[in-house]
Chains A and B, each alone.
Chain A
Amino acid sequence: MSLSPISLAFKKCREMGRPALLTFTVAGDNTKKKSLDILKSISENADILEIGFPHNTPIGDGGQIQTSSYRSIKNGFKVRDIFQIVRKYRKIKNSKPIILMGYYNMIFQYGENKFLTQCKKSGINGIIVVDLPWPENKIFAKKCKKKKISFIQLLSPTTSKVRIKKIMKDSHDMCYYISMLSTTGGKLKISPKKILENYNKIKKTNKSKNLVIGFGITNKTISSLKSADGLVVGSQLCKEITKSIKKRQNPVTNLNKMVLNLKRRIS
């Protein structure tokens, strides 16, 4: 069987001896066009791009991503825009795998099947649903698999050993470890050493799965976690967009610089 674009991205990074760099930005932040330009620009240095579909009641997100989400919705974002953004992004040379991240109500209102058909058509490679944990996600995850879209399971410091095994068994080629008890954008409140200890326990249950770490990772902390398969940076990027807008600078160039800097720290 040939590797999925997501697995391929991890393989390439592994061969280069570094973790994959995953970025997270919110679709439509601050406009549809800008968010597309940002994706195009940061994909120069990022290995996998996560894009969030903004929700106005996000129970798992901290201030930075909330600000981005509200801004995007205020500027007229609709769920269908995300497919357009990804389709346009896909047209560039050397486009990177795309993972959608969002809340289940958006998928539920759109209709699971219709949503996945649109994902497939526009070239989305993976999906993370913040509020659809295992085992509630079993049916949806199977539907994703049928469409060759990776459903990405989440694990956290509160996930029990037994549960880790079960989740890993049902997982696809990539899983996501939440570094600490926090919403997105929190300060890293436990040591990188402790995070990696937990990480390795999960990794050991199935070495073939690509396991990334996210939550609380910034340019200050990223290098201390580089033994992981992949690292996600989100809130820091969203914050940079907010800052750029405030200072009337171009978020595209600022984010490009920031992502390059992040990559240098793990290379």
Chain B
Amino acid sequence: MTSIKKNIPLIDQHDKNGLWGGKFGGNFIPETLKKPVEDLNNLFEKLRKDKNFIKERDYYFKNWVGAPTPLIKLENLTNHLGGAQIWAKVVSEANGGAHKIYNATVHCLIAKRAGKKYIVGDTGAGYAGKMLSMAAKKFGLKCKIFMGAKDIKRQRPNVESIRKNGATIVPVTSGSQTLVDAVSECMRYWVSNCDTAHMCVGSTVGPNIFVKICGYSTTQISRELLKQIEYEFGEVPKKLKLINCVGGGSSAYGFWSKFMDFSKKQVEMIGVEAAGPKDSKLHAAPLSRGGKLGILHGAASYICQDRDGQIKETESISAGLDYPGVSPLHCFLKDTGKARYTSETDEAALKAYKLVTKFENLNPSLEPSHAFATAIREAVKYSRDTVIIVNSCGDAQKDKDILKKRLRKLK
């Protein structure tokens, strides 16, 4: 296993086959997609060196997405727990209510440069779809969103936003009717329409180039965070923990990427996957619950699968984390020991949500509530000189039905 290099973005530390650590990622795609993927790769490499493109990106991040999103101290929660300081990077303050806006914006800017009129994307929690439809509207692109039928039911507020933005939603009724099926269907659509449509993969998953574009986009989070930390603390604290939920891993990568060169002793990165319902064998935690290396959606990563290589059904209260694979970037971070991964159950996430909202004026969606569960668990082990920052990457508006129902039962 190759080790992580300093001073080079992790998204660029792959070999000529597109593999990180010699085995994660790559391009396991049908022949038809080889050319569109190569074209996209060339265009992206050109654009990221183009000063005008970067200017444009930063302009929209600042004036449309709303950068920087706040870094706030959760004083009451910290005092209640009596351990480490807990802070939140409130990424949910970004336009639309989640980090998915960065990837969506960059993809639309690229699609425009590529001369494409159509853009298609997948969504689980509905945020990736909502943001893509918002950005598509903003930049004058026609948009189609693939979403599992089960997710359409459980994330209604985001579905309504997608429709309001004028995008078409394609319900996916195959398999488990969740994110995994939405991504498959979106890729199939792209195979058939790659001459006219641009595809946006909603997280740091999929063929190599999609991992890179998404990671490049969400890196905005840590670019802001590093500055905010220096402002608040004067320097990066001696003991810092960055805790983030991991579905595909786009928010976690973006939250961590500018901290890769710090030692593990100083900056610990903890990824939190979805362990599913307490009494269920099903989960969505390939990194922390023994997923095996395999190929899903064009890339090699740890995957929830059976011995035959069939993708296993997953289960989580959080649609955004309910995915059997994970970014190759996180597989690489796990194997090198650079980051640590754990998981939290549905019930633990709900409890954390309840505690956070009891003490703070913050409304984290079910995805970051998983991260808060781990943060709460960690905080009590340390004292005030340890600083924990949680990426509160989504707003719970979309989860209001689930929360209403489940919190009533929760004692």
> Which residues from chain A sit less than 8 Å from chain B, CB to CB?
55-62, 66, 70, 73, 78-79, 103-106, 108-110, 130-134, 136, 154-160, 163, 178, 181-183, 186
Contacts and interface: CB of A to CB of B under 8 A. Distances in A.
B30 A60 contact: yes
Nearest to B36: A158
B82 interface: no
Contacts of B309: 55, 79, 103, 105-106, 108-110
- From A79, A130, A183, residue with most partner B Cβ within 10 Å: A183
A159 B192 contact: no
Contact of A178 (B31, B195, B294, B310): B31
Interface in B273-288: none
B32 A157 contact: yes
- Give 7 nearest A-B pairs by CB, closest first: A109-B309, A158-B35, A105-B309, A105-B295, A156-B32, A154-B31, A131-B28
28 contacts: A55-B309, A56-B175, A57-B180, A57-B297, A59-B30, A59-B297, A59-B298, A70-B174, A73-B310, A79-B308, A106-B309, A109-B292, A109-B308, A110-B308, A110-B309, A131-B29, A134-B31, A136-B17, A136-B26, A156-B31, A158-B35, A158-B195, A159-B31, A159-B35, A163-B34, A181-B191, A181-B193, A182-B192
Given A60-B188, A106-B308, 7 more contacts: A56-B310, A59-B191, A60-B30, A70-B174, A156-B32, A157-B32, A182-B192
Given A136-B28, A159-B35, A181-B195, A59 B295 contact: no
B194 interface: yes
Nearest to A61: B188
A245 B385 CA distance: 68
Given A59-B191, A109-B309, A183-B188, A155 B174 contact: no
Nearest to A177: B31
B311 A104 contact: no
Contacts of B316: none
Given A59-B297, A109-B305, A136-B27, A181 B192 contact: yes
B188 to A, nearest CB: 5
B310 A159 contact: no
Nearest to B191: A183
Nearest to A134: B31
SS class, residues of chain B in contact with chain A: mixed
Contact of A130 (B30, B175, B180): B30
B296 interface: yes
A109 B188 contact: no
B307 interface: yes
B132 interface: no
Contacts of B194: 158, 181
B305 A105 contact: yes
Interface in B184-199: 184, 187-188, 191-195
A57 B297 CA distance: 8
A159 B39 CA distance: 12
Contacts of A58: 184
B295 A103 contact: yes
B184 A158 contact: no
Given A106-B308, A183-B188, A132 B28 contact: yes
Given A105-B294, A183-B188, A158 B32 contact: yes
A20 to B, nearest CB: 21
Interface in B136-185: 174-175, 180, 184
